[in-house]
């Protein structure tokens, strides 16, 4: 097994390496790959030092699996080249998510759809992953009519430049800016670029990806995505209208039975999901479960996950693990 991590020097790339180590992912040879300007850098993984190589060299090495986290432009250009060389690409960018010829996979939900000829597999958007995972068994049981989601997203979702901006602002220093406004002690209702319909690209990702993952274009989704000055993970207030009425205790049992979901819902003791507690965890945490008393068949829930973990690195590694386990590579 020859494994490549493309974008190994970035925030998500570093997290992928951590997850690979924690999960003891099986490989015989590891290629750490980045842009030509990062080639030659040294990265230590499991007490062994690796030299970062460029993309062209990595393609020539013909890895069995390449986990990409190098941005959409890089994925668009290089993922097909890896695929042509016989590599299965698991891509973290938005480049292939809505391509009708590519699978958009959350392993706990739809990994069974993967086939031996799937050469480029898309990892969904971080905020989409945590929401659909929390909803999947509820959808199976009650059917989903409509989802209204508002997100509270970590600066880590914008990369190292955004983390540095927040830290610089807190330290009172000038530095490079990732955002058009100050982020410390502020809230930005603006993630990714605005579209012609007034929504941001991030909001449209959540809308379109949810429909694709559930293979159900009838689900109505509306989203408002917001950047907040935290670093532990993304939080979401989700209001979901089911097709059938539900029992709140059964909802909790269904969530607890969902692989990768942990219920934290004990408000009497101030127990509810928080990004501080989700940091460096692979699971999705769900709480503040309560009936929407303004209309029938509707549930309010609060969903939190580390966006660099289940929202990116962990989900990608789990896809690779599924491929290995089911002899698809």
The answer to the question of whether 37 is labelled as a binding residue is yes
Other beta carbons less than 10 A from residue 52's beta carbon: 20
What is the Cα–Cα distance from 104 to 106, expressed in whole angstroms?
7
Query: Does 11 carry a binding-site annotation?
Result: yes
Alpha helices in 85-216 (DSSP H): 107-110, 126-142, 160-171, 201-213
Write the DSSP symbol of residue 156. Answer: G
The answer to whether 94 is annotated as binding is no
**Residue 10 labelled as part of a binding site:** yes
For 253-305, the DSSP string reads: HHHHTSTTEEE--BGGGTB---HHHHTT--SEEEEEEEE-TTSTTEEEEEEEE
| Residue 234 known to be catalytic | yes
93 annotated as ligand-binding: no
38 is in an annotated binding site: yes
Consult the annotation and say whether 288 binds a ligand: no
Q: How far apart are CA 78 and CA 120, in angstroms?
A: 11
Chain CA centroid to CA 160, Å: 16
Catalytic pick among 23, 126, 181, 326: 126
Distance of CA 63 to CAs 2, 46, 82, 89, 96, Å? 5, 20, 8, 10, 20
Q: Is 190 a catalytic residue?
A: no
Q: Is 87 annotated as a binding residue?
A: no
Give, as one character, the DSSP assignment of residue 203. H
Helix (H, G, I), strand (E, B) or coil at 299: strand
Alpha helices of the chain — where are they, by DSSP H? Answer: 11-22, 55-60, 72-84, 107-110, 126-142, 160-171, 201-213, 248-256, 275-278, 314-325
Q: How far is CA 305 from the centre of its chain?
A: 9
* CA proximity to 221, closest of 137, 127, 312: 127
72 annotated ligand binder: no
Structure tokens at 288: 């503040």
Is 141 among the annotated ligand-binding positions? no
Q: Out of 23, 181, 190, 234, pick the active-site residue.
A: 234
Residues tagged in the binding site annotation for substrate = 153, 227
Residues tagged in the binding site annotation = 9-12, 37-38, 97, 153, 227, 307
Residues tagged in the binding site annotation for NADP(+) = 9-12, 37-38, 307
Residues tagged in the binding site annotation for phosphate = 97
Q: Catalogue the active-site residues.
A: 126, 234
């Amino acid at each position: 097994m020859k494994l490549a991590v493309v974008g190994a020097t970035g925030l998500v790339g570093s997290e992928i390496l951590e997850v690979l180590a924690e999960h003891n992912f099986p490989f015989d040879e590891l290629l750490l790959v980045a842009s030509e300007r990062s080639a030659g850098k040294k990265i230590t993984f499991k007490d062994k030092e690796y030299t970062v190589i460029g993309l062209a060299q990595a393609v020539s090495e013909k890895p069995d699996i390449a986990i990409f986290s190098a941005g959409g432009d890089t994925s668009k250009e290089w993922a097909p080249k890896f695929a042509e060389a016989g590599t299965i690409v698991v891509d973290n960018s938005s480049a292939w998510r809505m391509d009708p010829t590519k699978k958009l996979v959350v392993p706990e939900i739809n990994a069974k759809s993967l086939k031996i000829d799937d050469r480029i597999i898309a990892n969904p958007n971080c905020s989409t992953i945590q929401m659909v995972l929390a909803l999947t068994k509820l959808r199976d049981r009650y059917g989903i009519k409509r989802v209204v989601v508002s997100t509270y997203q970590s600066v880590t979702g914008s990369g190292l430049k955004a983390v540095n901006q927040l830290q610089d602002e807190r330290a009172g220093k000038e530095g490079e800016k990732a955002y058009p406004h100050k982020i410390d002690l502020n809230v930005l209702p603006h993630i990714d670029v605005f579209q012609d319909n007034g929504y941001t690209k991030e909001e449209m990702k959540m809308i379109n990806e949810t429909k694709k993952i559930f293979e159900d274009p009838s689900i109505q989704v509306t989203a408002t995505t917001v950047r907040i000055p935290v670093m532990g993970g993304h939080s979401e207030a989700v209001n979901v209208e089911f097709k059938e009425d539900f029992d709140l205790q059964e909802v909790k049992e269904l969530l607890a039975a969902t692989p990768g979901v942990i219920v934290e819902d004990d408000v009497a003791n101030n127990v509810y999901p928080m990004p501080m507690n989700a940091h460096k965890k692979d699971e999705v945490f769900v709480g503040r479960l309560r009936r929407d008393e303004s209309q029938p068949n509707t549930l309010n829930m609060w969903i939190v996950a580390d966006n660099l973990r289940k929202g990116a690195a962990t989900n990608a590694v789990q896809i690779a693990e599924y491929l290995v386990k089911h002899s698809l590579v």
